[in-house]
């Protein structure tokens, strides 16, 4: 670790507040990886990241900068990956959409149930099948050891947990996939230079200086999990610059694929940028309950299959 | 409107993006107020604000500054107020805690239900009574016209909706209460000086200049709803300055009470600051399912009763 990039990363981790529950998370990861590795053959394991990371502006945090992300993409993709035989480590922002909830109303708990005259709780008619499927599939995935959910809030928690997952997954070799759909902060305030208490208003305008978060994708690829199949996501609001920026990110960080998505159309179409071309992926518009994540994960799983085959020959 | 404060407020509203669904919200408010006013006597109506407001940093918003707030206090207080006979307009941050959910796990939908062998959805045993009560009480409150839920996200939406509610509630005179528990941003970026697209990383540190949000409490008290009983909340992380700041806010904005709470102890105790003293309020520690909002709302409802009596004589 002596390149300028690595020293930047080291100083980011040094300045981060230590992770709560580090030992418990490590234990869960070890168990989950062991459960999905066996001598007869290793199951494919995807780490899906989802939701936005926060950047605290105060140590006893009242205010923070956040990145908009409902977590729908990560949650829906997790469901499809599990259906296609993957085990998934779901690293998600606390409170954002969870797998098997992506097709339900946001406040499913209050909207989908009613109490009958006989004082029993029942599902309201229009949601009956969807709710049953969601609860059953979620329980089956967790009980079957195919879904491990790890929540984060801040950028500091996210990057420390991503590192732990990557290092734990190393033993899976090419069977490991990173599907980095989280909206990660680009700028942060180093912990040590942060105000301890709530910043006081009343003394005029506020000026905030933010440093760039070092790009962890390179070090993920080169050091943390060099054999894993890595997919990152690029979101822009300006379609003009999107594809070019996605391709730049692919080359710069050595990603196997970059999914380019534009804020307004991201639920209808994305473009998968790889070293041999740009492949547009569309939601199946003939079906009302289809999503773009279904064809997207299908394409990426196929690519992952080729990657595993190539790695083994 | 010609004081310096009012011109600041005017320029804030002028610079805000127009509210979506303004007409629909106005219609709902009118109906709700009418339903709860009658010739035989007006029901008391509280506007409870809850959760944090966001400040977008980009017009097509990817990044924003947020204020930490789970919305638990506002949600729990709403339940108690309805139990004590109030109708409540619940102005809350989309996605934060809703009334009747405050004592359930955060992901109640996935945690509290299971599918039986006969393929029926049922509540898991430990939550059985709590879930039934939550769903039944929520339906009863909404169906009975005692709860109107209005979600917001940004500071722009919040302040425009608060103004609409205040002006609509004017006809209720002293029977109207404002219980301002939301964590409102102190700083913002004026819409017109905001970047249109996502701010690009890669060009070094980022500098953000924020203006102070004009304090709307004075204008709420003096112009929007001059007869209403008004309670605001003051949160600090530094207990040393808390009570003094709460009392300053009470005097400066003409609040009838300010609830002072400190970040770490806020679920156990608060202090109600009024013009005749500071009253500490504690959670009932002898009962595991009690909350500090119960004695807090009880105290404030008593004060409101005195206020109504005094206004009528």
Q: By the CB < 8 Å criterion, does B198 face chain A?
A: yes
Cα A1 to Cα A14: distance, rounded to the nearest angstrom: 14
Cα A193 to Cα B33: distance, rounded to the nearest angstrom: 49
pLDDT at B38: 74
Q: Give the closest of B62, B121, B134 to A235, CB-based.
A: B62
Q: By the CB < 8 Å criterion, does A113 face chain B?
A: yes
* A 93-112 near B (Cβ less than 8 A): 94-95, 98, 100-101, 104, 106-110, 112
Contact call for B65 and A66, based on CB within 8 A: yes
pLDDT at B110: 86
CA-closest candidate to residue A242, choices B281, B94, B60, B29: B60
Disruptive mutation site among B60, B63, B97 for chain A (greatest number of A CBs within 10 Å): B63
Read off the tokens for A1. Answer: 């670790």
Instruction: Tell how far CA B256 is from the center of its chain.
Output: 16
pLDDT at A1: 43
Read off the tokens for B284. Answer: 């009932």
Angle between helices A155-169 and A22-35 (to 10 degrees): 40
In b/e form, how buried is each residue of A218-232, taking b as 16+ CB within 10 angstroms? Answer: bbbbeebbebbbbbb
Does the pLDDT value for residue B176 go beyond 90? yes
At residue B202 the predicted structure's pLDDT band, cuts being 50, 70 and 90, is: low
At residue B62 the predicted structure's pLDDT band, cuts being 50, 70 and 90, is: confident
- The arrangement of strands across the sheet holding A63-67 comes to A54-56, A63-67, B63-67, B54-56
Contact call for A68 and B62, based on CB within 8 A: yes
pLDDT at A4: 60
Disruptive mutation site among A62, A132, A138 for chain B (greatest number of B CBs within 10 Å): A62
Question: Mean pLDDT throughout A239-243?
Answer: 88
List the domain range (segments joined by +) for residue A200: 4-312
Cα B164 to Cα B162: distance, rounded to the nearest angstrom: 5
C-alpha gyration radius of chain A: 21
Question: Mean pLDDT throughout B111-136?
Answer: 89
pLDDT per residue as tens digits for the range A138-189 = 999 999 999 999 999 999 999 999 999 999 999 999 999 999 999 999 888 8
Cα B311 to Cα B30: distance, rounded to the nearest angstrom: 24
How many contacts does A have with B, using Cβ atoms within 8 A?
162
Measured between CA atoms, the residue of chain A closest to residue B201 is A186
Does the pLDDT value for residue B194 go beyond 80? no
Contact call for A101 and B110, based on CB within 8 A: yes
- Report yes or no: B240 and B260 within 8 Å, Cβ to Cβ: no
Measured between CA atoms, the residue of chain A closest to residue B69 is A62
Number of domains chain B contains: 1
- The arrangement of strands across the sheet holding A187-188 comes to A187-188, A206-212, B206-212, B187-188
Highest averaged pLDDT of the listed ranges A241-245, B6-10, B192-196: A241-245
Q: By the CB < 8 Å criterion, does A235 face chain B?
A: yes
**CATH code for the domain in which residue A158 is found:** 3.40.50.10300
Cα A92 to Cα A48: distance, rounded to the nearest angstrom: 8
Q: By the CB < 8 Å criterion, does B117 face chain A?
A: no
Contact call for A204 and B212, based on CB within 8 A: yes
Question: Mean pLDDT throughout B10-25?
Answer: 89
Instruction: Tell how far CA A254 is from the center of its chain.
Output: 18
Does the pLDDT value for residue B224 go beyond 60? yes
Strands B147-152 and B121-123: unpaired
- The arrangement of strands across the sheet holding B269-274 comes to B147-152, B87-93, B45-50, B176-180, B229-236, B257-262, B269-274, B277-282
Contact call for B101 and A119, based on CB within 8 A: no
ipTM at complex level:
0.82
**What dihedral do alpha carbons A19, A15, A225, A299 form, nearest 10°?**
80
Q: Which residue has the tokens 């112009």?
A: B223
Does the pLDDT value for residue B1 go beyond 50? no
| DSSP three-state, residue A17 | coil
Write the secondary structure of chain B as one string of H (helix), E (strand) and C (coil): CCCHHHHHHHHHHHHCCCCCCHHHHHHHHHHHHHHCCCCCCCCCEEEEEECECEEECECCCCEEEEECCCCHHHHHHHHHHHHCCCEEEEEEECCCCCCCCCCCCCCHHHHCEEECCCCCEEECHHHHHHHHHHHHHHHHHHHCCCEEEEEECEHHHHHHHHHHHHHHHHHHHHHEEEEECCECCCEECCHHHCECCCCCCCCCCEEEEEEECCCCHHHHHHHHCCCCEEEEEEEECCHHHHHHHHHHHHHHHCCCEEEEEECCCCCCEEEEEECCEEEEEECCCCCCCCCCHHHHHHHHHHHHHHHHHHHHC
Which letter does DSSP use for residue A220 in this model?
I
Read off the tokens for A273. Answer: 């940028």
Question: Mean pLDDT throughout A244-254?
Answer: 94
Read off the tokens for A87. Answer: 């085990």
C-alpha gyration radius of chain B: 21
pLDDT per residue as tens digits for the range A100-119 = 988 788 788 888 999 888 88
């Amino acid at each position: 670790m002596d390149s300028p990039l690595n020293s930047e990363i080291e100083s980011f981790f040094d300045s981060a507040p230590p992770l709560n529950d580090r030992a418990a998370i490590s234990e869960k990861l070890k168990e989950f990886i062991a459960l999905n590795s066996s001598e007869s053959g290793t199951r494919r394991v995807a780490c899906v990241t989802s939701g936005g990371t926060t950047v605290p502006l105060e140590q006893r945090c009242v205010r923070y900068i956040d990145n908009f992300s409902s977590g729908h993409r990560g949650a829906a993709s997790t469901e499809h990956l599990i259906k296609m035989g993957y085990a998934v480590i779901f690293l998600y922002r606390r409170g954002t959409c969870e797998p098997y909830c992506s097709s339900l109303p946001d406040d499913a708990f209050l909207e989908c149930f009613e109490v009958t005259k006989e004082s029993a709780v029942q599902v309201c008619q229009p949601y009956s099948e969807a709710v049953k499927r969601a609860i059953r599939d979620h329980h089956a995935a967790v009980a079957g050891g195919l879904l491990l959910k790890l929540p984060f809030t801040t950028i500091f928690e996210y990057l420390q947990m991503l590192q732990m997952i990557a290092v734990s997954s190393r033993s899976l070799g090419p069977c490991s996939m990173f599907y980095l759909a989280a909206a990660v902060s680009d700028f942060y305030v180093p912990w040590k230079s942060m105000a301890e208490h709530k910043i006081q208003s009343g003394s005029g305008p506020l000026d905030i200086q933010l440093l760039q978060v070092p790009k962890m994708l390179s070090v993920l690829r080169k050091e943390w999990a060099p054999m894993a199949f890595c997919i990152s996501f690029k979101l822009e609001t300006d379609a003009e610059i999107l594809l070019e920026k996605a391709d730049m990110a692919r080359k710069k960080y050595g990603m196997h694929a970059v999914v380019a998505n534009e804020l307004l159309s991201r639920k209808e179409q994305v473009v998968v940028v790889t070293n041999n071309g740009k492949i547009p992926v569309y939601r199946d518009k003939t079906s009302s309950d289809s999503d773009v994540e279904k064809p997207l994960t299908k394409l990426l799983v196929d690519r992952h299959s080729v990657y595993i085959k190539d790695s083994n020959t």
